[in-house]
Structure 1
Amino acid sequence: MTATGSTSALKREIRRASRIDAEVRTSVAIVGAGACGLTAALMLHDVGIDCVVLERDAVPSGSTALSSGFIPAPDTRAQRAQGIVDDSADRFAADIQAKAHGDAAPALVQAYAQAIGPALDALQQRHGFDWIVLDGFLYPGHSRHRMHALPQKTGAALMARLQAAVEAAGIPVLTQALVDTLWLDTEDRVIGVGYQRPDGREERLACDVLLLACNGFGGNAEMVSTLLPEMADATFGGHAGNDGSAILWGEALGTRLRDLGGYQGHGSWVTPQGALMTWAVMMEGGIQVNREGRRFHDETRGYSEAAVQVLAQPDGIAWNVFDTPLLALARGFPDFCEAESVGALRRCESVAQLAACIGCDEIVLQATLDVMGMGYASAQPDGRSFSRVLAAPYFAVKVTGALFHTQGGLDVAPDMRVLRQDGSVLPNLLAAGGAAGGVSGNAVWGYLSGNGLLSAVAGGYLAAATAATAATAATAAKLIGNLKESNGE
């Protein structure tokens, strides 16, 4: 599958040369200072490999800062500290594959499931990340409590913590450096990158290994329209830097692309305020109704596929409806508190008031709520059952469906090396996180909660191990070459 027809104005070039005239050389160059790039940089630092991170923005943020900051991982120190001792990489891999209906890349699923626990433990032990496990409810598709977060429970806090760790380690992060050119020799070996500065100057960085950690194509409207037509008119809740750069470079190099139809949507984007409302409310008994006051899907199947369901409703609008116990749960998440602070939450003392708020017929809405009671004995027609009926006062939040980030990209081996069309690996080009094909299969319903940050952190961890080995080998080869040259050989 290709991304042919993507934005022609986006300049992403491949240049060939035997050497690059660069101002600086580093062992590993990393394009993108999100969770993937910064995790990789920290892991490289820990084993004594120098690297430089190049970031297009003045302040690193990316998709990570816009996320909830939750990372699924099995068999971690944080889990065991909270008494969760029955999780494993195999169980996690099975959950990923079950959500993707068996469509996720098996080798990558296994690699991520095995790597993410050690990655979070390394960040905790070496860099002081104080992980907690959200154990009050299960996210859709997860069979164990394994969603890790920092105590602040936001993606912005996760980014701030990663940046602080990178700064403390003395790792150079070059901001306002928009990489637009990859330099390779005739044997497909990356020798450096070119990047634009805000004043238009072009600068170059030579490297022994290159890691693309620059995310997907959700911010490229033309690529979204071509590859994800059902999301063409959806709100984009991701970062503008998701412009498809990695895919464009991959196409120019003739690499294999994978799962370009996979993405993370969200059916709970608060409108018009523009904030994310936690799906925990849906999992614990909240419902979504359309403008007519009717439920229209099983909310517990997942927030990603819910985006498509919500957008299919009149005007692409739904209302999240819940009650006092669920409001208390929601208020445990900073994103919801922010949305509430700007007027997103409506309180209704009766069904009549709730119907007036939504703009629907009271009789229809009452029937929707009454049907919930039937769930005690048998499942609803859509497959969902309820443990209790919502009680007044009712609370409502107006939402729409949104696209957050894409899950397809460059096809990679389990060690994050980029694959050619014939399945062979490029010598020293790596891709991870949103730049690489993920583990959500080729459709919106394959996204298991947390797959985005799973790919970012586990991918960064794995890429660092591969880059460290390759960089060490390159250094050894140079030393041998210099020795031979000095001996006149």
Structure 2
Amino acid sequence: MAIVAFHDGQEFEAHVPLVIIGAGACGLVAALAARQYGADSVVLERDALPRGSTSMSQGFIPAAGSRFQAEKGVEDSPELMGQDIQHKNGHQADPAIVRALTEASAGVVEWLADAHGVPFDLVEGFLYPGHSRMRMHATPRRTGEELMGSLLNAVEAAGIDLLTEARVVELHADDTGRVHGVTLERPDGSRESIGCDALILACNGYGGNTELVARHLPTLKGALYFGHEGNQGDALLWGEAMGASLKDLGACQGHGSLAMPHQTLITWAVMMRGGVQVNTEGRRFANEHGGYSEQAAKVLAQPGGIAWNLFDERIHQAALEFEDYRNADTAGAVRTFDSLEAMATGLALPLEALRETFAEMHALAESGEADGFGRSFNAADQLVAPFHAIKVTGALFHTQGGLEVDAQARVLRQNGAAFANLFAAGGAARGVSGSGDSGYLSGNGLLSAVVLGAIAGREAARQLGRESAA
């Protein structure tokens, strides 16, 4: 269990200016930013191989006003991106944090590309739910694993110390809330202590902690967790013990399209290009364009907690751009049928219900009217044989609530004052997705991890510089 040991003059075995807990995208970017602003750090990672939740994602980072957008003729602005974020979450996020993230987003993506060789380009061809512009930036393979590889290479090239198999089990803080160091535990049970002048919590959320999930996310307590097992809520528990303000603990990113039994993420581009989801009764049950996060609970509410993604060859060919989809296809998750009749038989779906579902979609496409869920259909995107189908379920990917921070990524107390030298970003911090599962705008997780991580590294370094000068 993550605990706080109140500092009593303990001597530490080593000392570094800045300790960063967690070597996912958040921690790695924070370390790179801190180095840029003159601060040395050590990144502590519990696993033998740094992966984090980032490696399980598609690695999409939303950014507004980047040169990558300009090269493709996309006009965007931080203000417009902020409006999209707040519209999706019902204006529940801290406006100062939304503004800080959107205004810094393009600069951070361009800095990672130019200074550290991360091969970003703009994801084109469709808009994710809630986005009014194409603003997803990703590496060529469209995987978080590839993004992590690029960031790890950058950290190594920068000469930043990264300790793996180093699970932090204690924070050492005095009665004023100033952090003085940490204790880490090795796989053999041995312990080491490291003193520091500032600490960044970049160790994600609590999605892997079943007790915390049941308490804060009751609609997803039985959902498959498709996130990093190390996300046990350590940052949340440390902050709670220190009297930090905790916000939006019911916020999360779910996903309504995890292939079963393969447990491979199926890109939501399948839905945005015209695909639909039906239950085992052959009926649609929600607006597939509303958002993939809230779709997780809707899929889980269907008979057996499953649904079928239905789409056609046009969408199949477009989805092959994504490595996760190609992996699912290779594994046999994608099934192909020459007709509705063959699909009904192959998937054990009622034929008449399936025919009615497709007839309704065609009628709506011709009339231009929206269905009862609020989705409109485009005549150019009507599904035609051969059809493809993937059996999916809803899953919890990561949590979005956490320690309340200010626009400098400083952790705040319950009275609104900032801790002296404690920062948080990524899943450890309160995100910009509001208070539930419906406020998640695609990319919010990596927006907080990468952009707020960069802000945390920069601000921690600046604070250390000021204190050194004084």
Deviation per CA, 1:169-206, whole angstroms, max 9, x where unpaired?
11000000000111112321111111101111110111
Deviation per CA, 1:420-463, whole angstroms, max 9, x where unpaired?
11111100000110000100000100000000000001111110
Tell me the residue number matched to 1:68. Answer: 58
Tell me the residue number matched to 2:4. Answer: 14
Tell me the residue number matched to 2:83. Answer: 94
Matched, 1:467 2:460: yes
Pairwise mapping of residues 219-258 of structure 1 onto structure 2 (< 5 A)?
219-258=208-247
1: CA distance between counterparts of 2:402 and 2:335?
40
Tell me the residue number matched to 1:4. Answer: none
1:329 positional shift: 1.0
1: CA distance between counterparts of 2:7 and 2:436?
39
Pairwise mapping of residues 273-312 of structure 1 onto structure 2 (< 5 A)?
273-312=262-301
Question: Which of 444, 456, 460 is equivalent to 2:437?
Answer: 444
Matched, 1:113 2:113: no
1: CA distance between counterparts of 2:298 and 2:267?
17
Deviation per CA, 1:39-77, whole angstroms, max 9, x where unpaired?
011111122210000000000001000001001000112
Q: Secondary structure at the match of 1:369?
A: helix
Tell me the residue number matched to 1:399. Answer: 392
Amino acid corresponding to residue 383 of structure 2 in structure 1: L
Pairwise mapping of residues 288-367 of structure 1 onto structure 2 (< 5 A)?
288-367=277-356
Moved more, 375-384 or 398-407: 375-384
2: CA distance between counterparts of 1:43 and 1:325?
42
Tell me the residue number matched to 2:38. Answer: 48
1: CA distance between counterparts of 2:401 and 2:183?
25
Q: Check the 8 A contact 1:39/1:162 in 2, yes or no.
A: yes
Q: Check the 8 A contact 2:198/2:464 in 1, yes or no.
A: yes
Tell me the residue number matched to 2:133. Answer: 144
Q: Check the 8 A contact 1:293/1:358 in 2, yes or no.
A: no
Q: Check the 8 A contact 2:37/2:458 in 1, yes or no.
A: no
Matched, 1:162 2:151: yes
Q: Check the 8 A contact 1:115/1:461 in 2, yes or no.
A: no
Amino acid corresponding to residue 409 of structure 1 in structure 2: G
Q: Secondary structure at the match of 1:366?
A: helix
Q: Check the 8 A contact 1:375/1:384 in 2, yes or no.
A: no
Matched, 1:423 2:412: no
Deviation per CA, 1:211-251, whole angstroms, max 9, x where unpaired?
00000000001110111011111010000011000110011
- Unaligned 5+ segments in structure 2 are none
Deviation per CA, 1:270-325, whole angstroms, max 9, x where unpaired?
00000000000101100000001000001001100110110010000000000010
1:19 positional shift: 3.4
Tell me the residue number matched to 2:373. Answer: 382
2: CA distance between counterparts of 1:431 and 1:20?
24
2: CA distance between counterparts of 1:324 and 1:57?
40
1:80 positional shift: 1.7
Moved more, 181-190 or 253-262: 181-190
Q: Check the 8 A contact 2:254/2:394 in 1, yes or no.
A: yes
Q: Check the 8 A contact 1:19/1:191 in 2, yes or no.
A: no
Tell me the residue number matched to 1:485. Answer: none
Moved more, 463-472 or 212-221: 463-472
1:381 positional shift: 1.6
Amino acid corresponding to residue 216 of structure 2 in structure 1: L
Tell me the residue number matched to 2:404. Answer: 411
Q: Secondary structure at the match of 2:456?
A: helix
1:111 positional shift: 1.1
Amino acid corresponding to residue 149 of structure 1 in structure 2: A
Deviation per CA, 1:341-399, whole angstroms, max 9, x where unpaired?
11101111111111112212111101100101122211112111111321111100000
2: CA distance between counterparts of 1:234 and 1:288?
18
1: CA distance between counterparts of 2:147 and 2:197?
29
Amino acid corresponding to residue 443 of structure 1 in structure 2: G
Q: Check the 8 A contact 1:97/1:103 in 2, yes or no.
A: yes
1: CA distance between counterparts of 2:458 and 2:9?
26
Q: Check the 8 A contact 2:117/2:150 in 1, yes or no.
A: no
Q: Check the 8 A contact 1:73/1:117 in 2, yes or no.
A: yes
Q: Secondary structure at the match of 2:289?
A: helix
Q: Secondary structure at the match of 1:444?
A: coil
Amino acid corresponding to residue 47 of structure 1 in structure 2: Y
2: CA distance between counterparts of 1:314 and 1:365?
16
Tell me the residue number matched to 2:29. Answer: 39
Question: Structure 1-normalised TM-score?
Answer: 0.94
Matched, 1:123 2:112: yes
Q: Secondary structure at the match of 1:347?
A: strand
2: CA distance between counterparts of 1:409 and 1:198?
28
- Unaligned 5+ segments in structure 1 are 1-10, 478-489
Q: Check the 8 A contact 1:208/1:474 in 2, yes or no.
A: no
Amino acid corresponding to residue 189 of structure 2 in structure 1: G
Aligned length: 466
Question: Structure 2-normalised TM-score?
Answer: 0.98
Q: Check the 8 A contact 1:304/1:445 in 2, yes or no.
A: yes
Let me know the Cα RMSD of the aligned residues.
Answer: 0.9
Deviation per CA, 1:463-488, whole angstroms, max 9, x where unpaired?
012101111123234xxxxxxxxxxx
2: CA distance between counterparts of 1:360 and 1:105?
45
Amino acid corresponding to residue 464 of structure 2 in structure 1: A
